[in-house]
Structure 1
């Protein structure tokens, strides 16, 4: 059946291509509403670009539970083996702009929205289990160093390495970034991590600390630096194309969902701060526990409606899952919903991709992006005498015992918090193969050769000190690659 062309208000019209004018060659008429509607909408087609994670890809899928973890959590998403929950995942580049290449050396975002019957649970992580900073106050500074120089408007290795060298806590993530893991072969061949420490709460109201892991069933596959550069000249949208076409072919990517758990007692006596985002938990001490399988099996019908308008916030946890004292997580609880309200409007959770498919009852009304009935005729205040909406005490979390009642601004590099080198050294010596160690060194040398200006050697030497503290061999190889006199770092002090 043929469809009539209409305005957004549903009004049919005839002239979509030709403007009304005074005569064949005269000026246009102000009354040509279609001309104005088309141009006005066109100039507003772009919503504000995400400050970080601007370029991304996404798909719908499901989480199927394969193992019982009820000893740790009462969350309904996990409450039965075989249970399936719909989800949406958005993959992304962290520092790149919306038009950047998808083979750039950059961490990848791994943001997940689970549509559970207790509300939407957002697990917003990366393809790395750690991050560059461990206090959210530093996040704007870090991102500014990775973006464009305010004078040249160019990406600046000098800015990036200056920040890294002045913040030794970044070293662990820098090692991941400079390895071939920094240039994954699309999104299907990389792991995902919740990265932060979260908490699980069981039916007995007992709390356990947790880290979430998603292991790709497709196998890890990365570009070398040279391969990534070549692909950048061929296809800027490699990862988007790879994910989209794989799902269209019926090759649905899958990840095994696993968790690590740590008791509150173990956390109190652990060797380091278990809420430090720059560190991982030992898999020997806290082995991975199988939970389920994530599968992506449906491409969105419209990229902008779903992928671009998808909005994630670590603040969105559901009953049985909670926060932790992780300082970066605590900052993200505030900043992520705030970013979505700026980018999409205060009612961003009404947009279909973000909307909870189950019951939603609250007293929020009005504002931008009201796409539902705005609460209809129901009261917009609480308490009231007309509806029967009541808080449910069954959803109360157990009290969290704090180890201090002193309010202060604590040094993130204080004694006990300042070992920035042990885990990067282990990563270099034990996690990477000989070939991958050579690749990491070559990538570091290439990146640091871009440092310029009068502070060049100061920045290089400061960063080399970090590499030497992590592993003597690593420091020596990088120094030689940069043609720096290694005797400066081997002489007794």
Structure 2
């Protein structure tokens, strides 16, 4: 027997095809509570989309430890070889809206949630090891430059290149963005990176700095520009479809987690700021160390509940993992959970996809859409005399020595924004250099010659050939 349709309050519905009216041609009666509930809910089905990373796809999986790194961290997720931890990974494009195509030239989000026994651990990264900015104060301006023109409502390359002409710190990420890796062939064939510098803390309360790399075990595959444009029109959900269908076929995608480690002393003496998000740590000096394997092996049952409502924040770290003086990371520690409180509500972490698999003991109460018993009869203040949860100093991080004047320090002064971008350019084959410079010139062809020249001067400082090729393709001397 089929189930009976009901209202949200569980009241059986006798008719779902025709509204209650006064006669066949008469007006609709306000007492048709099923109609009113149906329309009212329909009007409220959409929640605010993410300002960035609006369109995405996700899947569940497991992380398995393959190598011992307990000398660096006491995090329980790494406690022994063979240990498995459940995880959820959301991929996304960055600048486009929810209806945008999966194959646009754009960084890709790589947001990972580990459901550890010590609480959720979120690594909210991208498919690139660097970013366009190093200071969070500039982040809103950068994103605005990539979004739609406030007058016309469409995207305008003048805004993008005008901003970048005054932001040479973006050159490293720009070089990646306009290279072949700027359009991955779906989500399975790209790497993921924590990008920021984080910290590991071991059982002796010793700290090291760490970067996270997730290397695609499927290999790297990118889309030619013509194919990406074709797919944008014929299959704009290409990347999400590819991921979902591969998991349904039991072709489970996997990534190898590797880390780079830097000691506090090495960081103090290093030739550039190791917490600068526009730069990478040289692998020759800080080699990749194997840690484990991430496998995605289960698709969500409901896209809205599990992908759209998934919420990530780099502020979610378990004991044994910590932060760093990375300025962009420090800004994201506030911005990400604040965005989710606005988008989903203050109790967003009680949603099933976001709720930790470990025990939660807090004094947070009330607020919109509380999804559980709201703490029951237990009071909500601390310290208290009724045996409520208390702090545990054994989880305290070691002190971090800081020095310097409190000021708005210029992070661009005496900072080399060109060498690493140039090094990346020089690593490319002739064919890759040709495609990179053609992609850049293609987006610059409609902007003024003055703005073209300003940006080309930046590229020339990375490598004379880099800027020279772009200039030649734009017909400039």
Task: Report the TM-score, using the length of structure 2 for normalisation.
Answer: 0.99
Report how far residue 342 of structure 1 moved: 0.2
- Paired with 1:387 and 1:475, the residues of 2 have a C-alpha distance of 67
Point out 4+ residue stretches in structure 1 off by more than 6 angstroms.
none
Pick aligned residue for 2:418 from 421, 425, 430: 421
Moved more, 239-248 or 14-23: 14-23
- Paired with 1:226 and 1:429, the residues of 2 have a C-alpha distance of 25
* Mapped contact 1:344–1:369 kept (Cα < 8 A): no
Number of the residue aligned with 1:491:
none
Report how far residue 283 of structure 1 moved: 0.4
Number of the residue aligned with 2:399:
399
- Paired with 1:131 and 1:227, the residues of 2 have a C-alpha distance of 26
Question: Quick check: 1:197 aligned with 2:194?
Answer: no
| Counterparts of residues 278-427 of structure 1 (less than 5 Å) | 278-404=278-404, 406-415=405-414, 418-427=415-424
Number of the residue aligned with 1:169:
169
- Paired with 1:395 and 1:10, the residues of 2 have a C-alpha distance of 46
Number of the residue aligned with 1:156:
156
Question: Quick check: 1:449 aligned with 2:445?
Answer: yes
* Mapped contact 1:378–1:387 kept (Cα < 8 A): no
Number of the residue aligned with 1:490:
none
Report how far residue 60 of structure 1 moved: 0.5
Gaps of 5+ in 1: 486-493
| Counterparts of residues 204-243 of structure 1 (less than 5 Å) | 204-243=204-243
* Mapped contact 2:130–2:278 kept (Cα < 8 A): yes
Number of the residue aligned with 2:27:
27
Number of the residue aligned with 2:71:
71
- Paired with 1:22 and 1:227, the residues of 2 have a C-alpha distance of 57
Q: Deviations over 1:125-173 (max 9, x none)?
A: 0000000000000010000000000111111110011111110000000
Partner of 1:461, secondary structure, is: helix
Partner of 1:407, secondary structure, is: coil
- Paired with 1:290 and 1:310, the residues of 2 have a C-alpha distance of 28
Number of the residue aligned with 1:459:
451
Q: Deviations over 1:180-222 (max 9, x none)?
A: 1110000000000000000000000000000000000111000
Question: Quick check: 1:3 aligned with 2:37?
Answer: no
Q: Deviations over 1:331-389 (max 9, x none)?
A: 00011010000000000000000001110000001111211111111111112222341
Q: Deviations over 1:406-440 (max 9, x none)?
A: 1100001122xx2000000000002x222211110
- Paired with 2:177 and 2:227, the residues of 1 have a C-alpha distance of 16
Number of the residue aligned with 1:434:
430
Report how far residue 2 of structure 1 moved: 2.3
- Paired with 2:387 and 2:378, the residues of 1 have a C-alpha distance of 7
- Paired with 2:56 and 2:302, the residues of 1 have a C-alpha distance of 14
Report how far residue 459 of structure 1 moved: 1.5
Query: How many residues are paired up?
Result: 477
* Mapped contact 1:130–1:173 kept (Cα < 8 A): yes
Report how far residue 11 of structure 1 moved: 1.6
Gaps of 5+ in 2: none
Partner of 2:353, secondary structure, is: helix
Partner of 2:7, secondary structure, is: coil
* Mapped contact 1:180–1:224 kept (Cα < 8 A): yes
- Paired with 1:369 and 1:211, the residues of 2 have a C-alpha distance of 37
* Mapped contact 1:52–1:96 kept (Cα < 8 A): yes
Number of the residue aligned with 2:131:
131
Partner of 2:250, secondary structure, is: coil
Q: Deviations over 1:433-478 (max 9, x none)?
A: 2221111011011111132xxxx22211110011100011111110
- Paired with 2:300 and 2:429, the residues of 1 have a C-alpha distance of 39
* Mapped contact 1:255–1:295 kept (Cα < 8 A): yes
* Mapped contact 2:382–2:388 kept (Cα < 8 A): no
- Paired with 2:429 and 2:5, the residues of 1 have a C-alpha distance of 61
- Paired with 1:157 and 1:245, the residues of 2 have a C-alpha distance of 35
Partner of 1:281, secondary structure, is: coil
Partner of 1:210, secondary structure, is: strand
Partner of 1:16, secondary structure, is: coil
Partner of 1:114, secondary structure, is: strand
Partner of 1:373, secondary structure, is: coil
- Paired with 1:212 and 1:274, the residues of 2 have a C-alpha distance of 14
